[in-house]
Structure 1
């Protein structure tokens, strides 16, 4: 398990997490509780989340745990009662978040412990990326790994002293259980509150570490060293970087596609493997979030809007570099999936489709990948037992015993991937290529028809500003790269919807909401929301020449500087002030899985400077780049979205 911010890349929300902490040390899980706590609230359970503008928070509203949303009310109660905070961070499409909700947060004993001795706070990481980044950094620094659900114990001021990922209700296989952890935290807080608070100061310092690096200059060797680091991680036969789980890492792909032939070939190999693998939905289009195996065959099945947007950009870049129709075909199929499955009736695009869905034979329960996987019996029922099934099975690697290996969760299921090309299938079965094509067309139609009869994966209908910004940019660039104006029209339509629903242009400077549900505004936007939408405005201006898109990009960039700029060190904070205080504000610098606010800011400001001639934009763009360059100096591959534009950013420095 690893983090998608900081030294490790690509966070996962599966597999049990390790407990970590700077205070607790070895846990004595059987120690008794000390009495304490205030009277029960007039209403019990998670009712405070009922009206949240977040499907993830709402799914905890029926829990017996007395959840609070992040905010002053939770901090006020914690300070007044001198109780530790229990801060649990997750998101709607996270499989293990659902598991922990079912196992632990509906457990009466766990609820009693949390309600009596803690103030429990639920956070949607997709609504509060700044909080997720801060607390995930603490867990990553103290455990070496992090993911979701992310669970942190903190002082009433929000300073963390213990954290981990998934915990079962009871200890198992050497892993702590929630009940034992809660008892031990209560004991330590009761017997040694001062010691716990001292450890929490160290935890807060871990979160702040690295914010005040000396910016220095924009070193010319960063791109070369980043490419070398990626070469060291590259899997030449499977594509991708590192071992399982395998993440797309689109910023890395975009960076490499702008480099020399050997380096660009790493990106091409990776995109080819992903396009052929199970991480791509071979029937319905679109990409799943990551693969759990090194060969891209078995995905973790949620589909995120940002993955589609950024991978389309990588596919377009590959098409521009290498030519041919294959890259355009996959890009078009991905955009068609987005329009078909992720477009919202109110305009813009929904955040995600869940990994879990109901099994057709057991609609009251849910399982990971139930919508997308096939048993041999289901495959046969859809296709029959003849030549058509033989062709489809050979093409998609379907086997009677399943093709997902040792996956306990998927059992004897099959994930469709492109196991053989049409010529190999034809030779194996003694058929003509034309017959193979005919059978595959019929098989796809039948399989899709059968799949549509299944319960669909639940959708997270949040309109997320930054993610829509990335999709608008992808659509605008697709219109230019593919010469198809329909994509630019879709981009403009989505941009207008986002502007209408998430942007308050009457504020001075403009204000952006992070997200919204129909009829409900979400929390204030993060820096990445302003800057991703500004980048989208620039992309639309570049395609249409329409002045309002440039004006909106300028207004958003100006507001980002006003709300998030670090006047002492340069660069952008992730979010605004919080009830916990200024110490919780972090500055993003990792460009995977999403471009960081500082990479976006540096590039947006540089582009605005070029289009308007405004020297202030150029200066701030250079300062944001300089701060981030210093932060990633030892690990430049963390900043590939930034350094993909390195020559232009260094040119800004030379003008200073």
Structure 2
């Protein structure tokens, strides 16, 4: 590595850019200085995109960017630009589409060659430092691209322009799906895909590697709920239904009775469909509960340090890629909260507590209240080590465990967690040989099985395992160098966590969870929000960043604020969510092209194409989240425009939902919310009154994805001004009660706990 002067990245705040500040490469940050330099020198731009906890980004940096000879080729022939994808997802997204179309795949580090006018001409991901297996190494590629630019510069420019124009045409076309029907068949297609791709042995919906993708669980939980709520208690009345009632009930379920001739055939078809849908709902829940238990037992779960690693390199959820991302913790927290509400299995509640323990201890800014982005996969194996190794902080040798725990307890612990004397990592999953003789802890046996094996009580096993984990955690945190932590705070990811923490508070009733959620919201409002302009910023590190918020910053924070309102009934969160929703529409909504939200604002000059993200992958797309937000807000503040934009966004994406349903599970979940409608549950009376708190607890204790809780208050400035339903209820009564409202119509006040429970079962 060069010991010369630092390059331009030394003035940046991004941890990723700062990691490259002392490279011999003359890096520029993304911006006008780099673009102007490329034009003046007539050089291609080499764009390298990654993030600070990216393992293969570290590998390429060490092999190539720290190499003086390779750096000289880069500096002589290119203007070299570094981008942190987490701070500038707009740049990452546009060029990632190009790389994926060119190579059939994508990932990080992303390496793209651009003309001085920012048009892409060639790209890929990781390139090795030497030619191998008939493929060019990075130096050969650099020389080839420099030569092509000198010899065929005009042709490259034309090819780059043509590529972007095709992408622009695709984004501007009005989809034929504008006239498609929005119906449950689309959601059932998503359900069928997950059934066909489910791994019944190990859980999940991929082969390998396996990602814990919460957007899939999010959809399946909702499909389960809406099917059962649609069926209701119909079977109780089947025996006494008239033919007219059977037909009415059947048509409401979308049943075609054209081949039925008599009452028995009608009833038989109705019964068959009901049974089939019940089985589908059961399958939804079974697939997710099985998968979430496998994930929690697996090596992807950090059994000693809490929280979850990024993904599993194998199909068994065993050997992970060891980085830990805030967005994974947030979404998995939500998944385990929801599965707990559906099953009331305390096992899942313990996982909820585990995740919160991790994010509070290791990812929280304890002074400000916001949450950091990630922890690295790589770390030094011991103090004084010269090189970092992936997973060094998390893995164990059998001898270490025996020394720390003693003979008896280490034998029990090792049996339970699959520890082997020579390590338990498949060498095929250890490409760089960093995990030899190491063990990645995975629960090979249940506590009951372990108790049976050692002929001790279940309680004894639980105590031994708990005490052993505490000892190993103390050793790890005291003796091992911690991985690098990416300490930038992103608005978008904090929005995801605020939502999950609020929901965790509702389910587990731990006041700390609500305090953590409110602390994060307060941090964003104080540090990343310009109240005068009603604008969000993207990131914070040693002060607010300069990049303005993208569409997901708005959508995820709005969702978090709506959930936080329901946990606190603090109307300031509701007011802020409404302000942000109006601003999101102004900045990102496509009024002219058929609906949907662009990922960048209209004034972004350096992005050649404004895209509308629709893929629900590691995170839900902003469009999927926005549909849900608009529907919820549209029912609260009686703003028809919100509901209209939600519907139009669904129609914009419906054709893609028909063609690739597996890519849009969160959008399918929002579609079901649109079809089934919002169920407003309005509480009247002080929360200090025991009966009112009982009402609230009953609702919070249930999984009802289409519910929205509202509190009618005499001094409620937001709802009393903007919600006609609240106004009418307050004018009519003040006694403690509950109102269940659907389709902008409210039922009679409920003033009895048992009556409320019955109504919830019926609805």
- CA distance in structure 2 between the aligned counterparts of 1:46 and 1:226, rounded to whole angstroms: 51
- Alpha carbons of 1:483 and 1:209: their partners in 2 closer, same or farther (altered >3 Å)? farther
Provide the secondary structure at the position in 2 that maps to 1:89: strand
**Aligned pair partner of 1:300 in 321, 344, 367:** 321
* 2:348 is aligned with 1:327: yes
TM-score, normalised with respect to structure 1? 0.89
Q: Deviations over 1:63-116 (max 9, x none)?
A: 111111111221111122221111110001101111111110111222112112
Corresponding residue for residue 662 of structure 2: 637
Matches within 5 A, 1:94-173: 94-173=54-133
Corresponding residue for residue 369 of structure 2: 347
* 2:27 is aligned with 1:63: no
Deviation of 1:581 (Å): 4.7
- CA distance in structure 2 between the aligned counterparts of 1:648 and 1:380, rounded to whole angstroms: 53
Corresponding residue for residue 554 of structure 1: 578
**Aligned pair partner of 2:482 in 451, 456, 464:** 456
* 2:560 is aligned with 1:536: yes
Provide the secondary structure at the position in 2 that maps to 1:583: coil
* 2:336 is aligned with 1:315: yes
The answer to whether the 8 A contact 1:75-1:579 is kept is: no
* 2:205 is aligned with 1:241: yes
Deviation of 1:204 (Å): 1.8
- CA distance in structure 1 between the aligned counterparts of 2:603 and 2:23, rounded to whole angstroms: 26
The answer to whether the 8 A contact 2:528-2:544 is kept is: no
- Alpha carbons of 1:496 and 1:579: their partners in 2 closer, same or farther (altered >3 Å)? closer
TM-score, normalised with respect to structure 2? 0.77
Matches within 5 A, 1:382-393: 382-384=404-406, 386-393=407-414
Corresponding residue for residue 547 of structure 2: 523
The answer to whether the 8 A contact 1:622-1:652 is kept is: no
- CA distance in structure 1 between the aligned counterparts of 2:368 and 2:340, rounded to whole angstroms: 32
- Alpha carbons of 1:44 and 1:602: their partners in 2 closer, same or farther (altered >3 Å)? farther
- CA distance in structure 2 between the aligned counterparts of 1:426 and 1:492, rounded to whole angstroms: 42
The answer to whether the 8 A contact 2:4-2:22 is kept is: no
Deviation of 1:652 (Å): 8.0
Deviation of 1:439 (Å): 2.5
Matches within 5 A, 1:71-86: 71-86=31-46
The answer to whether the 8 A contact 2:369-2:516 is kept is: no
Provide the secondary structure at the position in 2 that maps to 1:50: helix
Provide the secondary structure at the position in 1 that maps to 2:608: helix
The answer to whether the 8 A contact 1:45-1:63 is kept is: no
Provide the secondary structure at the position in 1 that maps to 2:547: coil
Deviation of 1:431 (Å): 3.4
Corresponding residue for residue 221 of structure 2: 257
- CA distance in structure 2 between the aligned counterparts of 1:464 and 1:633, rounded to whole angstroms: 33
Matches within 5 A, 1:596-607: 596-607=621-632
Q: How many residues align?
A: 609
Provide the secondary structure at the position in 2 that maps to 1:110: helix
Deviation of 1:44 (Å): 7.7
Deviation of 1:650 (Å): 3.8
Matches within 5 A, 1:376-455: 376-384=398-406, 386-406=407-427, 407=430, 408-452=433-477, 453-455=479-481
Corresponding residue for residue 545 of structure 1: 569
**Aligned pair partner of 2:53 in 93, 107, 121:** 93
- CA distance in structure 2 between the aligned counterparts of 1:501 and 1:467, rounded to whole angstroms: 15
* 2:182 is aligned with 1:219: yes
The answer to whether the 8 A contact 1:90-1:150 is kept is: yes
Higher gyration radius (CA): 2
- CA distance in structure 2 between the aligned counterparts of 1:580 and 1:417, rounded to whole angstroms: 49
Deviation of 1:198 (Å): 2.6
The answer to whether the 8 A contact 1:239-1:270 is kept is: yes
The answer to whether the 8 A contact 1:397-1:418 is kept is: yes
The answer to whether the 8 A contact 2:298-2:442 is kept is: yes
- CA distance in structure 2 between the aligned counterparts of 1:266 and 1:652, rounded to whole angstroms: 26
- Alpha carbons of 1:218 and 1:541: their partners in 2 closer, same or farther (altered >3 Å)? farther
Matches within 5 A, 1:343-382: 343-344=364-365, 345-360=367-382, 362-382=384-404
- CA distance in structure 2 between the aligned counterparts of 1:291 and 1:224, rounded to whole angstroms: 28
- Alpha carbons of 1:322 and 1:652: their partners in 2 closer, same or farther (altered >3 Å)? closer
* 2:622 is aligned with 1:615: no
- CA distance in structure 2 between the aligned counterparts of 1:280 and 1:421, rounded to whole angstroms: 15
- CA distance in structure 1 between the aligned counterparts of 2:567 and 2:655, rounded to whole angstroms: 34
- Alpha carbons of 1:150 and 1:532: their partners in 2 closer, same or farther (altered >3 Å)? same
Deviation of 1:310 (Å): 0.6
- CA distance in structure 1 between the aligned counterparts of 2:115 and 2:5, rounded to whole angstroms: 22
Q: Deviations over 1:209-241 (max 9, x none)?
A: 642341514532221111112222211110111
Q: Deviations over 1:549-571 (max 9, x none)?
A: 11110111111111112222211
Q: Deviations over 1:127-168 (max 9, x none)?
A: 011211111111111111111101011111111111111111
Deviation of 1:435 (Å): 3.5
Corresponding residue for residue 254 of structure 2: none
- CA distance in structure 1 between the aligned counterparts of 2:204 and 2:539, rounded to whole angstroms: 31
- CA distance in structure 2 between the aligned counterparts of 1:149 and 1:218, rounded to whole angstroms: 41
* 2:612 is aligned with 1:587: yes
* 2:525 is aligned with 1:499: yes
- CA distance in structure 2 between the aligned counterparts of 1:577 and 1:90, rounded to whole angstroms: 25
The answer to whether the 8 A contact 1:158-1:580 is kept is: no
Provide the secondary structure at the position in 2 that maps to 1:162: strand
- CA distance in structure 2 between the aligned counterparts of 1:435 and 1:327, rounded to whole angstroms: 21
Deviation of 1:47 (Å): 2.1
Give ranges in structure 1 of 5+ residues lacking alignment.
Answer: 1-42
Segment of structure 1 superposing worse, 223-232 or 435-444: 435-444
- CA distance in structure 2 between the aligned counterparts of 1:458 and 1:218, rounded to whole angstroms: 49
Deviation of 1:482 (Å): 2.0
Deviation of 1:194 (Å): 2.1
The structure showing larger relative contact order (alpha-carbon pairs under 8 Å, at least 6 residues apart) is 1
Segment of structure 1 superposing worse, 272-281 or 253-262: 253-262
- Aligned-residue CA RMSD (Å): 2.0
Q: Deviations over 1:469-499 (max 9, x none)?
A: 0000001111112233332222111101111
* 2:494 is aligned with 1:468: yes
Corresponding residue for residue 589 of structure 2: 565
Provide the secondary structure at the position in 1 that maps to 2:488: strand
- CA distance in structure 1 between the aligned counterparts of 2:4 and 2:651, rounded to whole angstroms: 50
- CA distance in structure 2 between the aligned counterparts of 1:437 and 1:318, rounded to whole angstroms: 23
**Aligned pair partner of 2:137 in 177, 189, 195:** 177
- Alpha carbons of 1:608 and 1:520: their partners in 2 closer, same or farther (altered >3 Å)? closer
Provide the secondary structure at the position in 1 that maps to 2:207: coil
- Alpha carbons of 1:609 and 1:51: their partners in 2 closer, same or farther (altered >3 Å)? same
- CA distance in structure 1 between the aligned counterparts of 2:423 and 2:666, rounded to whole angstroms: 39
- CA distance in structure 1 between the aligned counterparts of 2:606 and 2:84, rounded to whole angstroms: 19
Provide the secondary structure at the position in 2 that maps to 1:498: helix
Deviation of 1:343 (Å): 0.8
- CA distance in structure 1 between the aligned counterparts of 2:110 and 2:441, rounded to whole angstroms: 31
Deviation of 1:633 (Å): 2.7
Give ranges in structure 2 of 5+ residues lacking alignment.
Answer: 225-280, 679-742, 744-763
The answer to whether the 8 A contact 2:303-2:469 is kept is: no
- CA distance in structure 2 between the aligned counterparts of 1:119 and 1:45, rounded to whole angstroms: 18
The answer to whether the 8 A contact 1:88-1:150 is kept is: yes
